[in-house]
Amino acid sequence: MLAFSSKETYVKPLPIGLSDYKEIIQGNYTYVDKTLFIQELLSLKSKVFLLPRPRRFGKTINLSMCRYFFEKTQEDHGTLFHKHKIWKTKHKCEQGKYPVIFLTLKEVKGTSWNESYEDLKVLIRTEFNRHSYLLTAKHPCPTVERREKGAALLLPSERTEFLAIVDGSASPAYFKHSLKSLTLWLQRYYQEQVFVFLDEYDAPIHAAYVEGYYKTMINFLRSWLGGGLKDNPCLKQAIITGILRTGKESIFSGLNHFGCHTLLGKHFCDKFGLLEKEVRDLLKEHQIATPMQKIREWYNGYHVGSYALYNPWSIMQCIENHGDLQAYWINTSDNDLIKRHILQGPVSVKKDMEFLLQGQAITKPLDESLVFSSLLRDENALWSLLFFSGYLTLAGEPHYEDADLLCPLRAPNQEILRLYATVIKSWFRESLSTQDQQQVLLQSLVTGDIETFTTLFQELIKSCMSYFDIPANEPERMYHVFVLGLLVFLRPTHEVLSNRESGLGRYDVCLIPKNKKALGIVMEFKKSPQGSLKEAAKEALRQIKNKDYALELKERGIHQILGLGLAFRKKQVCVAKEWLR
């Protein structure tokens, strides 16, 4: 439905669900001008570009835009660019000059190799069909290859190969070499080198990793892409997008003039995602009254080069929903891979998740070439996955330490923090026998019924702690993370802080009610490998009082304050309480 202001001003519809540049422009949808992406491509000398970016950050629209700009067709597509920035540059003369191969692999997500292979064959066959005019075309240069005047473009053996691919009967060898073959025939027909645009190349790799046919998929893509892109004189440029760079699997090994421009790079930084000005213009155009600061907290925070970017999908959805702030992006795909590797990670991962939930930064080595098979073996591979997938962003300048690229990282915004909170909640849901038990446990805590809380908390530890690795040298760290995970359920009514300075030291956990008349709680943890658990809990209480950990609560205007000392030994817990003045 079209929206009109009180002055009957026409507001363009949002292109939600659309990724075809021509459809967006001809349909008069809202379009944020990213056409200078083309200028940056042409200004660099790489023959093959790999541009990994998070989901729904504009990759497909940009590739579609490039296709309509460069492809030589009977229809004049120049009119699609006359009102945009690229038409004001010298590069407008490149419009409509070249043959183009355009493929998107984002739907190749079969549960088996055979299923995905059939999907790949369909995509390749469809692109061959798009260029079926080659079957009847005449060779434009009959003197080349000693051909006679009027000779067919394709040799008999090439025609056989083309037809076999189109009808699906071609051998695996033909399909593996199909990309190289098609570039050869297109270059021969147009007498111009070919642009290849390949969208979401790693979607099949992701599916193959999850479903267990990873090596088979890698072998096919290595042959298919290697044949089409490596030392191919018919290739003008290849632009490949995805979420991750999987270079160590050697898919792109040996490519000459290969440029990979990730979130850590300096090129194309403002060509994916939305800039602050672009977001402000969109909000103004669509008359969204939500404060900019709130929009920023929810959807901004992605730092690429010198730019701070907004998530475009979330911004579009927020505008479509009249400025309602929700977690739109994290609900658009299956986050099971992310959740599984966080949950199966060691205690150090869970500890770092605690810091992220508190809005703090962690510093981790990142590898721009992710190996899926190392995710469960290498903790650092998980941080690379989270960063390049858009679940973390830079919190400062990366720097090298020995051979490692160390990067300060944090959660970009409130939308991503919601996902982390959801993951942490899932640690407990299977262990709490009923939702009522969860509610009673938390309600007893926030109302000061510590006897009930202790009983239920002890039951929870017995049933749940087996899911966690408890380090022998620092067991209290694991219990710390465990309690913080439990308290995530209280975030609607309480602020949960951890390891913050207050009084003369740092408390372990502070539970600050949003209602100042409600109960505030300070917690301190103690390990007790031997001796009395009760005495260890009392010692934790003395530390709370002696170091005045309740000071922050008092400064917040909280008058009811309860100190809790929690002592742990394996799956045993003792809780001591005292009202603080």
Q: How does pLDDT run across 489-521, given as a tens digit for each residue?
A: 888 899 888 878 888 888 888 999 999 999 999
Query: Which position has the higher pLDDT, 282 or 374?
Result: 282
pLDDT of residue 62 exceeding 50, the answer is yes
| Distance between CA atoms of residues 426 and 340, nearest Å | 10
* pLDDT for the residue numbered 333: 61
Instruction: Report d(CA 471, CA 380) in Å as an integer.
Output: 19
What is the rounded average pLDDT of the residues 247-276? 86
Q: Find out whether 81 and 87 touch, Cβ atoms under 8 Å.
A: yes
> Which pair of structure tokens corresponds to residue 497?
């802080």
Q: Which residues form the domain of 382?
A: 337-417
Report yes or no on 18 lying in a domain. Answer: no
CB 273 within 8 A of CB 264: no
Q: Given 386, 417, 448, which residue is the final one in a domain?
A: 417
Torsion over CA: 55, 57, 63, 68 (sign) = positive
Burial class (CB in 10 A: 0-12, 13-18, 19+), 55: middle
Strand pairing class (572-580; 560-569): antiparallel
Higher pLDDT, 348 or 391: 391
Q: Is the pLDDT of residue 349 over 50?
A: yes
Coil, strand or helix: which one is 574? strand
Question: What band does 382 get if pLDDT is binned at 50, 70 and 90?
Answer: confident
Residue-level pLDDT at 117: 97
Q: Do the beta carbons of residue 400 and residue 406 sit within 8 Å?
A: yes
Same domain, 408 and 469: no
Within-domain flag for 6: no
Does 133 have pLDDT greater than 60? Answer: yes
For residue 302, is it within any domain?
no
Contacts of the segment 381-384: beta carbons below 8 A, 24+ positions apart: 382/341, 382/342, 382/345, 382/349, 383/409
- What's the confidence (pLDDT) of residue 2? 42
Domain with residue 139: its CATH number is 3.40.50
- Regarding whether 171 and 42 lie in a shared domain, the answer is yes
Token code pair at residue 504: 């003369």
The answer to the question of residue 12 being in a domain is: no
If asked whether residues 59 and 159 sit together in one domain, one would say yes
Percent of the chain with pLDDT over 70: 89
Q: Check whether residue 247 and residue 155 sit in a common domain.
A: yes
* Entry field: residues in the chain: 581
The confidence score (pLDDT) of residue 420 equals: 83
With respect to residue 327, please indicate whether it lies within any of the assigned structural domains. no
Query: Does the pLDDT of residue 125 top 60, yes or no?
Result: yes
Q: Is residue 285 part of a domain?
A: no
Residues 46 and 138 in one domain: yes
Give yes or no: residues 372 and 461 share one domain.
no
Lowest-confidence range among 38-42, 178-182, 354-358, 449-453? 354-358
Q: What is the pLDDT of residue 127?
A: 98
Choosing from 243, 260, 277, the residue where a domain stops is: 260
Which range in 101-105, 241-245, 557-561 is most confidently predicted, on average pLDDT? 101-105
Tokens representing residue 215 in the block: 């090596």
Domain assignment present for 274: no
pLDDT at 350 over 80: no
Q: Measured between alpha carbons, how far is 403 from 400 in angstroms, rounded to an integer? A: 7
**CB–CB of 22/80 below 8 Å?**
yes
User: In the structure, what pLDDT confidence band is assigned to residue 429 with cuts at 50, 70 and 90?
Assistant: low
Q: Which of these three, 228, 260, 292, is where a domain ends?
A: 260
